[in-house]
Amino acid sequence: MALQERNELGYCPLCGRALLGEEGAARLRDGKQICGLCAVKLRPAFPAAFSSDFGKLIDSPDPLSAIGLEQAEQAAGNAASVSEELRQKYGFSAVFIIEKAEKEKGGLLKAVWRVTGRAVLGAFCPRDKVLLVSGGAKTTLELDDVETVAPAAASRGSLFWKRAYGGTIASFTVTARGSIGPGDMIVKE
Question: What would the pLDDT profile of 4-38 be if each residue is shown by its tens digit?
Answer: 444 557 889 999 888 876 666 788 999 898 888 88
Q: Report d(CA 76, CA 102) in Å as an integer.
A: 36
Helix H or strand E encompassing 25: strand 25-27
Give the chain's count of helices (H) and strands (E): 3, 13
- Please work out, in degrees rounded to the nearest 5, the angle formed at the alpha carbon of residue 114 by the alpha carbons of 49 and 133: 80
Instruction: Determine the topology of domain 2-84 in CATH.
Output: Herpes Virus-1 (3.30.40)
**pLDDT value, residue 133:** 92
Helix H or strand E encompassing 140: strand 137-142
**pLDDT value, residue 74:** 92
Residue 75 burial (CB count, 10 A):
20
Does the fold of domain 90-188 match that of domain 2-84? no
Identity at 105, one-letter amino acid code: K
Give the DSSP letter of residue 18.
B
**pLDDT value, residue 13:** 92
Sequence spans of domains, the chain = 2-84, 90-188
**pLDDT value, residue 152:** 46
Rounded to a whole number of angstroms, the distance between the first and last alpha carbons of the chain is: 45
Q: What is the pTM of this model?
A: 0.73
- Please say whether the beta carbons of 28 and 68 come within 8 A: yes
Mean pLDDT along residues 95-108: 84
Q: What is the pLDDT of residues 48-72, one digit of tens each?
A: 766 555 445 555 677 888 899 999 9
In the CATH scheme, what is the code of domain 90-188?
2.40.30.10
**pLDDT value, residue 4:** 47
Q: What is the pLDDT of residues 123-182, one digit of tens each?
A: 888 888 999 998 888 889 888 878 776 554 444 444 455 677 777 788 888 888 888 899
